[in-house]
Chains A and B, each alone.
Chain A
Amino acid sequence: METLFSMLVGILFAGSIYLLLSRKLVRILLGIAILGNAVNLLIFTAGRLTRDVPPIIPVNNYLPLEATANPLPQALVLTAIVISFSFLAFFLVLGYRAYQELGTDDLLEMRVAEPKEHYEPPLGY
């Protein structure tokens, strides 16, 4: 089970890196979305996978009666999902504003902050 999941995580990482290397902002944003999910799945897999045993302690007991699923990675993934979702929302707005203001979604043409014209620095001293 873990092996299959690891391979899936690998495929997701490969796909997201391919998209991140693109020049188009939209594809980069898609890459970020996939990257976040790849990492969530990675944490989940790294915490070992167990089927059908929720980590719940029965009434009148202080310990679970049998081996249960590890709840910690689930808590980590939950935190990471919230964070990556809110970041993605911010990025979508940022990308849209960038397209509105700069008139392009091609990163090679986004040169407002670093203009192509090169000015020689003053050469005295």
Chain B
Amino acid sequence: MAATKPAIDMTAAMVTEAVPLADWLLVAPILLTMTGGALAIIFRKKPATQPWIAIAVISLVVFSNIALLNHVLTNGVVTMVMGSWPPPFGIAFTADPLGALLALMASIATLCVAVFAMDSIATNERRYGFYPFLLMLLCGVTGAFLTGDIFNLYVWFEVLLISSFGMQILGNEKVQIDGAVKYAVLNLIATTLFLAATGLLYGLVGTLNMADIAIKVQALDGSGPVLGLAALYFLAFAMKAAAFPVNFWLPASYHTPRLVVAAIFAGLLSKVGVYALLRVMVLLMPEGRDWLSSLIGLVAIATMLTGSLGALAQTDIRRLMGYLVIAGIGAMLAGIAVGNEAAISGAIFYAMHSVLIMTALYLLVAFMFQISSTFSLREIGGLYVRSPMGAAIGLVLLLGVAGLPPFSGFWAKLLLVAGALEAGRGWVVAGLLVSGLLSTLAVGRLWIFAFWRGGNEHTVDGIQALPIAGSAEPKEISLTIWLPLVALTGLIVLIGVFPEGMMSVSDYGAKTLLDPSTYIASVFGGTQ
């Protein structure tokens, strides 16, 4: 028998007090989605049961995220450490308003997609695992939004990436495999660069905890290595977010998967890149952001302009949507480039708005295909007669993505423009407004061609077009299509008409990012 060790005081080395019940909300979305994903795999031979598992689990995640956002707004930034190791040694989950808000929006978008997919994903494709992939994708995205550890962020990136690969090739068509090659290779290179930057950052500051990094980066003498790292992080996340000139994987791949899959990609994946940029550039390395701000501004403007010009030049509606995603990414980057409180708040607001509206737009494209059986702007037409309700929803969503009032995108752009003016960056304002005008033209054309024009390209305008459009068989549109579309459109209008609530959340998020003291206090305060 070995000599008995003297009793030691574990409170110095471990977190001994019990975790408050409300703080479990931080890991609840991860636990729920992982369990749900495993359940959905167990039920892989029962494709009729799978959607109900997914919908039940994602609904719980939505409620949990609402509670988490409420918790963060009332009590400030919350932290939970894994395995009772005090930070910076244990992996910390830290929810600030930015992370909690985006996690909530992501779960709402995923819920809508899960409902929409009930009818639009064929039974054999469900057997190949649509719902498990969807749940694991949400798991990865939520984990990325809530983690407070930079290596853990990399792990969540990989979780969402591998799920997205599985969803991308669902259907096994030639065009999907072609798109998947480009999507997968470029995204993996981006994530590997992110990992390389993280390795170097660890070599520089000796920690992986984000709050600890924020402290130690400020304390470094000599900013050279930090600036280099900021540039490497910027390249990696810009590739992930699809910023010009490293965004060619997006137009090559986003039109190839099933439209519900494209909806969740457009809603969540590129926003994760923008979120990581906000986190790393603004919270961890403010010095690097200041140094790179002109470059980020140029990239932002090029992204916005190529996005909206690309949207104008497309014949295929799915590819047009891909370019609109890119234009939105440019607007968020503009907020990061300007970097004052209003602009960061605008970027957060835009990210939140973009999650909802890009998901809704791809679902709208699926709805349009359901009625008209075509994606070509030349062939499509007469949808107004066939579905006035769909035309109304389409008008709201298309004007919303262009940033026109009274929809949610307007307030985001207003904040961005106000922030850029305040910082004296007139050229960023010019880029934002020109890109807004071009996007309005692109979506206006889409609405006019698809909904307003009586039939295909050669239809004579005017009252005589009505019989052509009306003669087509009316198609039955099921509730699983209406419900998500109406819910997302309703949210976009609601946020657009009553923006104060969201704006106070995004302002709070911007304050927490720009002044990391509350974030750091939340991680270290309770345990040291």
Contacts and interface: CB of A to CB of B under 8 A. Distances in A.
B155 A79 contact: yes
B192 A39 contact: yes
A60 B3 contact: yes
Given A60-B5, A113-B255, A113-B256, A94 B174 contact: no
Contact of A121 (B198, B377, B444): B377
Contact of A28 (B162, B185, B192, B378): B185
A97 B189 contact: no
A32 B189 contact: yes
Interface string A17-35: 0001000010010001001
Contacts of A101: 174, 177
B251 A114 contact: yes
Nearest to B441: A125
Nearest to B377: A122
Contacts of A46: 199-200, 202-204
Contacts of A114: 251-252
Nearest to B188: A87
Nearest to B204: A46
Interface stretch (B57-65, B215-223, B266-274, B308-316): B308-316
Interface residues of A, number: 46
A112 interface: yes
Interface string B198-217: 11101110001000000000
Contacts of B445: 122, 125
Interface string B169-199: 1000011011111101100110010011011
A119 B316 CA distance: 9
B378 A122 contact: yes
B73 to A, nearest CB: 34
A80 B255 contact: no
Interface in B333-369: none
Task: Give 7 nearest A-B pairs by CB, closest first.
Answer: A46-B203, A43-B199, A112-B178, A113-B178, A113-B179, A121-B315, A39-B196
Given A87-B158, A94-B180, 5 more contacts: A46-B199, A73-B199, A80-B195, A87-B162, A91-B188
